[in-house]
Chains A and B, each alone.
Chain A
């Protein structure tokens, strides 16, 4: 047993309102500089939708993630030999158009324009070429709230029935905030010929060493989530750093900190590094169970002993015990990995959202036998869609979680109204009263220090104002070209 600690984020999709505050706070701190304008280390997508970069989930295009082959895991894209022969031109790399051409507006024209008969306007210009853009054709959330659904949402590879997005009566959507998953089996790390990308042993954060990166670009496509970006200015790869300067000091990541819906939880998970590969060799629909199996119980004395031997401190073990993430991912098993079938073992987990019921034709708001709350099958977001997104196609897992959420609501509703609740409802969903109360608290009124339990690593001394807008990563040297 090789016990390691990992900082993990859980997203409660049931609460995400798609306000993009997380994206803005991330951008403001980390990617507000030249070459990084197009990068959104944290982005929020509307599902169904093509996402950012467009069609990132379709691995036939960018060939990210891992495949099982002869009882072994293999990068989908290129083996080591072919990597050497494709250094000059990386065949699977996403291009600028797959994201969008970043733009800004020439506000100076508003007061510099010569007198004329027309009101001056702030024209858009490209932040890459500096040239005027006649018509903006893309952005980081261009298909937000199903806009252009006939063009974008229908292309969602999780959608079985494409007519869903064309029918107002059956249409559905939810948001999907995404950061780097800081995977246990990161494809970006494996694909790097320079060995610039590494996983930190202490907290599992995956980082690109800017001094070692040579810009060979294999990571940008090897990551099935497309969360490694190429900085066209510095010629190197960059990615979400899990706000390590913040988490090291016990502060919450900027995205989670600024989340107005308070949908995010950050905490420690202990896992068995020896069993990761074996778990990833399971068939798609068993991957979620395999994920949960790799995650260890921090209360177990044997686990604690092995963790201590690996240098996990008491402070971290305590954080692991109290971890809201452990509760959500393993204890209550309500949080699921995003696309486990990419086999990177992502360490960001998502609680699927409940959705409104279908109210078409005669069966208007048909309810479950216990009243008020709908049958699973009547939910607008098809279980198959959520299963394709979060459980490798295993619909049973999704149904279990939705059942838990519905039971929880019934339980709290009855409590609020002073009505008795049938015990079987909680029991059938795999909950008890104490558990339901804890889950309710985590989902709703848990304050900052309960939602996020982050043990410290080391104090950072550098002034944050000096870092902001500099070269990122706290490196203050110049890359090249004018600042």
Chain B
């Protein structure tokens, strides 16, 4: 029951929300499309939170994605034991870096009075969720060794089975609870993305790299 909830209901619900709510929000009220930076109000702790968090989590997230997109090359790459060890160690270090960052961000929200009026329920939910996700990730990476390798043989085929609408949850059901929670957390984050400031993930500024510096807009042209 729990298995089908986590591995069938949750991913499809999350995906549906992401696909349908995001454009709705984009077209109905883009005024809320912001990362809601609070650097203006508090910057000292933020530096130690936001940088470790982003620079820790982005490569880890990218590794998860590459595993899904290109499992073959990943398997070949990690077939070499020393490469695997280095890959795992770097991953764990980045995970710890991210965990440190989001803990700092959480404590910052608790301890800074100036942030009181710009902290909403969604900020708390996200912060606790991300701390939990980073914590479970670090736990898995520490105590369930060679995750980068077995991930390719379990979670990846499972995710592909989701994509083809033939969910094969057998790949996941035998895992310990902590990993199921990690997966549930991931689906929850995707589900919350279109409703919260996480929408900033959906915009990567690249156009400006090519653009001329000064942008004009003409009413007539």
Contact = CB atoms under 8 A, between A and B. Distances in A.
Contacts of A200: 216-219
Interface stretch (B1-9, B35-43, B184-192): B35-43
A88 interface: yes
Contacts of A230: 37, 40
Kindly state the interface size class of chain B when it binds its partner: 35 or more
Nearest to A211: B30
Interface in A204-230: 210-217, 220, 230
Nearest to B28: A477
B32 A480 contact: yes
B176 interface: no
- Sorting the interface of chain A by its residue count into under 10, 10 to 19, 20 to 34 or 35 or more gives 35 or more
A89 interface: yes
Given A201-B217, A211-B30, A195 B41 contact: no
Contact of A213 (B34, B40, B207, B214): B34
Instruction: Give the interface centre of B30, B31, B118, B197 by most chain A CB atoms within 10 Å.
Output: B31
Given A199-B214, A202-B219, A236 B40 contact: no
Interface stretch (A21-29, A125-133, A170-178, A370-378): A125-133
Contact of B217 (A87, A88, A186, A198): A198
Given A84-B205, A215-B37, A471-B31, A189 B47 contact: no
Interface stretch (A90-98, A295-303, A386-394, A397-405): A90-98
B120 A129 contact: no
B175 interface: no
Interface in A140-198: 185-186, 189-190, 192-195, 197-198
A165 B219 CA distance: 50
B164 interface: no
A418 interface: no
A364 B34 CA distance: 62
B40 to A, nearest CB: 5
B81 interface: no
B215 A195 contact: yes
Nearest to A183: B214
B40 A96 contact: yes
A409 interface: no
A233 interface: yes
B216 A311 contact: no
Contact of B218 (A75, A202, A233): A202
A337 B43 CA distance: 34
Contacts of B115: 129
A183 to B, nearest CB: 9
Contacts of A131: 113, 116
Contacts of B217: 198-201
A31 to B, nearest CB: 15
Contacts of B51: 88-89
Contacts of A126: 114
B40 A199 contact: no
B156 interface: no
A129 B112 CA distance: 9
Nearest to B113: A129
Interface string B192-221: 000001001001010111010111111111
A214 B200 contact: yes
Contact of B37 (A129, A217, A475): A217
A205 B217 CA distance: 10
B40 A193 contact: no
Contacts of A89: 39, 43, 46-47, 50-51
Contacts of B213: 75, 189-190
Interface string B138-178: 00000000000000000000000000000000000000000
Contact of A311 (B35, B46, B220): B220
Nearest to A199: B216
B180 interface: no
A234 interface: yes
B56 to A, nearest CB: 11
A235 interface: yes
Contact of A129 (B54, B117, B220): B117
A94 to B, nearest CB: 8
Contacts of B216: 198-201
Contact of B205 (A201, A216, A477): A216
A186 B212 CA distance: 12
B35, B40, B51, B115 — most chain A CB neighbours (10 Å): B40
A400 B148 CA distance: 74
Given A214-B203, A235-B36, A88 B54 contact: yes
Nearest to B52: A88
Contact of A189 (B29, B113, B214): B214
Contacts of B32: 479-480
Nearest to A75: B213
B36 A215 contact: yes
A236 B33 CA distance: 9
Contacts of B219: 200-202
B221 A201 contact: yes
B117 A128 contact: yes
Given A80-B208, A211-B30, A95 B113 contact: no
18 contacts: A80-B209, A84-B205, A90-B39, A96-B40, A126-B114, A129-B113, A129-B114, A129-B115, A129-B116, A192-B215, A214-B34, A214-B205, A215-B37, A230-B40, A235-B34, A311-B220, A477-B31, A478-B29
Interface of B: 29-41, 43, 46-47, 50-51, 53-54, 113-118, 120, 197, 200, 203, 205, 207-209, 211, 213-221
Interface of A: 75, 80, 83-84, 87-90, 93, 95-96, 126, 128-131, 185-186, 189-190, 192-195, 197-202, 210-217, 220, 230, 232-236, 311, 471, 475, 477-481
